[in-house]
Structure 1
Amino acid sequence: MGPRGAPLLAVVLVLGLCALVESEKPSPCQCSRITPKNRKNCGFPGITSDQCFDQGCCFDSKVAGVPWCFHPLPKEASEQCVMEVSARKNCGFPGISPKECASRQCCFSSLISEVPWCFFPQSEQDCHY
C-alpha cells in the first residue's frame, strides 16, 4: 500500500466503526411526552421500530398523519423533568438559582429563555413506549 492508501484506509476504518456503534434508545418519557403535532421526522417510509430505536429515535405508530419515527425530547438529569417547554408549570421566580430550585424539589433548566427555568416535575407513571 502506497502513501496515498493509508488515509483512505483510515477513513474506511472510522466509517466502519461508526456503523457498528448503535445509538442509545431514548427513555420512555422522552418519547411519550412529546405531542404528535410537535414530532420531527427521524426515519423513512416503512422504517421498523427496531431500526428507529437503533438511530436513537422514538417510534409510535398509533397516530396517523404524523411521523412514526421521531426525535426524542432532550434528556434531563431526572426523568421527572423530561417534558415539552409548554408543559412546564412555574415553581420559582425570575433569577432563581438552580440550588434554590432544587430545594423546592423542582426541575431546573435555563437553556430556553422566556419559559420557566424552575418548574414542577411530572410523575413517571405516564411514561411508556
Structure 2
Amino acid sequence: MGPRSARLLTVLLVLGLCALVRSQKPSPCQCSRLSPHNRKNCGFPGITPDQCFGSGCCFDSSVPGVPWCFEPLPRQGLEQCVMEVSARVNCGYPGISFDECAARKCCFNDLVFQVPWCFFPKPVDDCHY
C-alpha cells in the first residue's frame, strides 16, 4: 500500500467515524432548549422526522418560518446542563474551578468567554420532542 492509498484510507475512516457520531439521535434537551430563531438548518426541503433524526439532527415542524430539521445543542456531561449559553444563570464567580463548581452542584463549561462558566442546571423533565 502506497502513501496515497494510506491517506485515502485514513480520510475514509475519519469520514465514517464522523458519520457514525453524527447519526446518534440527539436528546430531547438538545432539541427543545434551542430557541427557534437560533436554529441552523440540518436538512433539506421535505425531509422526514426519521431522516432528520437519522442524521443526528433535531426535528420540530411546529414553528413556521424557521428550519424544521436543525442542529442540536452540544452534548454535555449531564443532561440538565444542556442549554443555550444565553440561558445560563451564574452559580459561581469569575475564575471558579470545575471542582468548586461541582461542589455547588452546578454545571461547568469554560468553552465560551464572557458568559458564566459555572451555572445552575435545569430540570430534565421540561425537555420533550
TM-score normalised by the chain length of structure 1: 0.85
Q: Does 1:32 align with 2:32?
A: yes
Distance 1:120 1:48 in 2: 35
Note the residue ranges of structure 2 that are not aligned, 5 or more in a row.
Answer: none
Note the residue ranges of structure 1 that are not aligned, 5 or more in a row.
Answer: none
Question: Which residue does 2:109 correspond to in 1?
Answer: 109
Distance 1:23 1:124 in 2: 22
Q: Whose radius of gyration is greater, 1 or 2?
A: 1
3-state SS of paired residue (1:122)? coil
Query: 1:81-113: per-residue Cα shift (whole Å, max 9, x none)?
Result: 000000000000000000000000000000000
Distance 1:62 1:126 in 2: 17
Question: Which residue does 2:68 correspond to in 1?
Answer: 68
Distance 1:123 1:34 in 2: 15
Letter aligned with residue 103 of structure 1: A
Letter aligned with residue 34 of structure 1: L
Query: 1:30-63: per-residue Cα shift (whole Å, max 9, x none)?
Result: 0000000000000000000000001100000000
Letter aligned with residue 24 of structure 1: Q
**TM-aligned CA deviation for residue 69 of structure 1:** 0.1
Matched residues, number:
120
Deviating above 3 A after TM superposition, structure 1's stretches of 4 or more consecutive aligned residues are none
Q: Does 1:50 align with 2:50?
A: yes
3-state SS of paired residue (2:40)? coil
* RMSD across aligned positions (CA): 2.3
Distance 2:51 2:67 in 1: 14
Q: Does 1:89 align with 2:89?
A: yes
**TM-aligned CA deviation for residue 75 of structure 1:** 0.1
**TM-aligned CA deviation for residue 125 of structure 1:** 1.1
Letter aligned with residue 52 of structure 2: C
3-state SS of paired residue (1:51)? helix
Distance 2:25 2:123 in 1: 21
Percent identity, aligned pairs only?
68
Distance 1:121 1:87 in 2: 10
Letter aligned with residue 77 of structure 2: A
